[in-house]
Amino acid sequence: MSTDPDISSFFPFSTIRSGQRELVDDTMTVAKNGHSLLAHAPTGIGKTAGVLAPALQYALEHDKTVIFLTPRHSQHRIALETLQHMRQKTGRAFAGCNIIGKKWLCNVEGVENMESRDFIEYCKSVRKDDRCPFYNNTFTQNDKQLRQRASTHIQQLSGNINTAQEVKQQTSEFCPYEIVMQLLRFAKVIIADYFHIFHPTVRQSVFDRADLQLDDCIIVVDEAHNLPDRVRSLLSSQLTEYGMQQAINECNAFGFYELEETLRQIHGELRELLDSHTSVQDKKYESFVERQTLVNIIEQWDSFKEFVVDVEMVADEVREHKKRSFAGGFAEFLRTWYEGESGYARVIRRKKKHHRTEYQIVLRCLHPALNSAKVLNESHASVLMSGTLTPLEMYRDLLGVEEEKAQLRSYQSSFHAKQRKDIVVNTVTTRYAKRSEDEFLKLGWYI
Ligand code: SF4
């Protein structure tokens, strides 16, 4: 494969390192062929610039958008700085921005201390009832059109490389998250978390706002060895007995007495299910349970879908008065339980809590390809890169990349062995559980 003659005008640094040059070439090749590159590339090779430069060049020439996904906020900053360098070097005024969690962009005071799930419910509820002044300043109340002042603000930011935090600092009148989401439409490169593209509902919301389809995008996944676990956890969920009891209390407190009674009976059925599937005597503390078992329990009272809608009504009412609704959590769990038909482990567990036993029902996604295959195979092209992506075939299969489209590559370190000194010190650790003042002092001394 040969290096594209123009890549040097995009590449943000004066020289391209040896292993990095191959990465640049391979990225350009998969962009042209619409394939997926799985790149095992050692630390220090310069993966971010090595992939962003050719991906952006291709995107600008073929009207595509690069979506760079990384689980770390520090990496957002590095990617945005790389884009700034490329903008200066090419003299081309492309725009870029990053998305971070809504909670960190919210202008309402005190939300930083809320659990993420509670915050999502809170924000949903205040928007629905027109109780957020920042949201109301951003959109008209009836038809949710952008207000003129918000539109002018977006236009002012739209040609830049914006960090989400900078947008927040410049946005005191509107909802900063909504402003960031509006800026996606102008961006040639969007930097985000895996969650924004690999969670099906969130992806739809991002794509609707950015006016994108999967095949408009070159998806770049940084630290891709983390992706299978992240995708599994995005599709997993659980119901606890405590959560169920709180949902019952909410029905009572808000006057949904009939539903309260139904939930009490379902709670009783779940306790029976726990006793029939587990046994302390036999030391059997958990057991598989069928999808249909829970569906059948619910359908003794109502159709499953109707029941979820009823529980959501309670949640809506609760959220008018409180930031969190347990009924909302229950409805969300039921929906996930119903939608995931295969590729999941469904388990009922006996959990000890304050001298009593409670049930916990867990829905665990086992096969990340259920979700990742669509993203990676239907996007225009994708690059999965990491310093520890071996065996490459395993990651290809786990994530469901079509074999004929997968380019598996391992790159040599750009550094000569003589430039490296490896020293093994087996008397210090950076393990989180062991971190202490003493350990830091020891580490500092060795360095
Ligand atoms: S709409 Fe925006 S400002 Fe209002 S609560 Fe939600 S994130 Fe915060």
> 135 CB under 6 A from ligand 1?
yes
- The CA–CA distances, whole Å, from 436 to 312, 426, 428, 439 equal 46, 17, 11, 5
**Architecture category of domain 7-125+160-231+368-419 in CATH:** 3-Layer(aba) Sandwich (3.40)
Residue 1 scores a pLDDT above 80: no
pLDDT of residue 330: 94
pLDDT of residue 128: 85
What does 105-143 look like in DSSP terms, one character per residue?
A: H--STTGGGS-HHHHHHHHHHHHHTT--HHHHHHB-TTT
| Residue closest by Cα to atom 5 of ligand 1 | 123
pLDDT of residue 5: 47
Residue 20 scores a pLDDT above 60: yes
Residue 286 scores a pLDDT above 60: yes
Residue boundaries of the structural domains of the chain: 7-125+160-231+368-419, 237-365
> 127 CB under 6 A from ligand 1?
yes
Average pLDDT rounded to a whole number, residues 127-141: 93
Average pLDDT rounded to a whole number, residues 313-335: 87
Q: How many angstroms does the Cα of residue 122 sit away from the middle of ligand 1?
A: 9
Q: How many angstroms does the Cα of residue 247 sit away from the middle of ligand 1?
A: 25
Strands 65-69 and 95-98: unpaired
How far apart are the C-alpha atoms of 161 and 237, rounded to whole Å? Answer: 36
CA atoms within 13 A on the CB side of 348: 20
Give 80's pLDDT tier (boundaries 50, 70, 90). Answer: very high
> 314 CB under 6 A from ligand 1?
no
pLDDT (tens digit per residue) in 22-34:
999 999 999 999 9
pLDDT of residue 6: 67
| 248 phi/psi in degrees, rounded to 5 | -60, -45
pLDDT of residue 370: 87
Give 417's pLDDT tier (boundaries 50, 70, 90). Answer: confident
Query: First CA to last CA across the chain, in angstroms?
Result: 42
Using alpha carbons, select from 419, 417, 410, 369 the residue that is nearest to residue 387. 410
Q: What is the CATH number of domain 237-365?
A: 1.10.275.40
3-state SS assignment for residue 414: coil
Where residue 32 falls (left for φ over 0; alpha for ψ -120 to 50; beta otherwise) is alpha
> 175 CB under 6 A from ligand 1?
yes
pLDDT (tens digit per residue) in 164-213:
999 999 999 999 999 999 999 999 999 999 999 998 888 998 999 899 99
Contact 19, 42 (CB under 8 A): yes
pLDDT of residue 53: 93
Average pLDDT rounded to a whole number, residues 106-133: 87
pLDDT of residue 2: 44
**Which atom of ligand 1 lies at the shortest distance from residue 107's CA?**
3
pLDDT of residue 23: 94
How far apart are the C-alpha atoms of 377 and 28, rounded to whole Å? Answer: 17
Whether omega for the bond prior to residue 391 falls within 30 degrees of 0, making it cis, is: yes
pLDDT (tens digit per residue) in 368-415:
998 899 999 999 999 999 999 999 999 999 999 999 999 999 998 877
Using alpha carbons, select from 330, 301, 336 the residue that is nearest to residue 315. 330
What b/e readout covers 70-86, taking b as 16+ CB neighbours within 10 angstroms?
A: beebebbebbbebbebb
Using alpha carbons, select from 350, 338, 336, 339 the residue that is nearest to residue 241. 350
pTM equals 0.81
> 107 CB under 6 A from ligand 1?
yes
> 103 CB under 6 A from ligand 1?
no
